[in-house]
Amino acid sequence: MVYMTGGSISYPSGAFDRSTGWNDDVNIVNGLGYYEEYHQLVADYLGEFFDYITEANPCFAEIKANCSFNESTRMATVSVHGRISPDFDLMVGDDAKLTVYLTEDSLTARQLDNGTWISNYVHNGVFRMALGSVMGEDLNRFGGQYKNVYRFQVPSGWNWHNLNVVAFISRPLSNYVNGFTDMAVNNADKFKFQISDAVEEIETDPNAVPVSYYDITGHQYDTLQQGINIVKMSDGTTRKVFVK
């Protein structure tokens, strides 16, 4: 997001691990622009690579999610949760972050392809918004588990059928100016919304207390600030608080 919102015009592209490979000195992928006859070869190669990574760096926390959408109010509730391994702090770090993005598939818009504009190109996995901070946030942990809850209203122009909740756990983003070091993703998953016509009720703890405060840009503060505050509670829920 730092690069995409820096004021310059850029076009989306994809790459997996541009600079390192099996032995940390091999460029495994420079981009995803391969001729069709090489698609299966590249897919097989990347499959082997990901299998190797999975074996070498197993997941130390589950990622599950309950994603519900109310068509009448267009309110969505996303609860990301799971068990945490006793080795999580040692192998991943007690400062690890949970990042949750909302993406949308099947958006038709123009696309620049080798210097030629395609008018009705279908774009999938288009970033819509971050649930919480775009840089990730702390896992709300309790008794060997965690649960982070998000509630928001889906804009009328977004098709909820095509929305995806993408959640992953990683080391914190420590230095986005000089390079992405120490940014291995421990695990990730994608979830779809299920319809819910009932009035949404979020599980809350009557004894929950505030644990962190954010402004609408995701900047964290020690106390409430003037304006709109996003307050994270100890039970995993969030609240909006306005201070005059």
Question: What's residue 67's pLDDT?
Answer: 95
- The answer, yes or no, to whether residue 69 has pLDDT greater than 90, is yes
For residue 98, what pLDDT band results from cuts at 50, 70 and 90? very high
Distance (Å, whole) CA 75 – CA 67:
11
For residue 182, what pLDDT band results from cuts at 50, 70 and 90? low
For residue 207, what pLDDT band results from cuts at 50, 70 and 90? low
- The answer, yes or no, to whether residue 217 has pLDDT greater than 60, is yes
Question: What's residue 174's pLDDT?
Answer: 60
Distance (Å, whole) CA 163 – CA 131:
13
For residue 201, what pLDDT band results from cuts at 50, 70 and 90? very low
Q: What is the DSSP letter of 90?
A: H
Pairwise pLDDT comparison (179 vs 35), residue with the higher score? 35
Residue 220's nearest CA partner among 98, 94, 136 is: 136
Distance (Å, whole) CA 114 – CA 96:
39
Question: What's residue 32's pLDDT?
Answer: 53
Pairwise pLDDT comparison (23 vs 71), residue with the higher score? 71
Specify the long-range contacts of residues 175-179, CB closer than 8 Å, at least 24 apart.
Answer: 176/2
Q: Which residue is associated with the tokens 């015009």?
A: 9
| Cα within 13 Å of Cα(70), Cβ side | 14
Helices (H), the chain: 39-56, 88-91
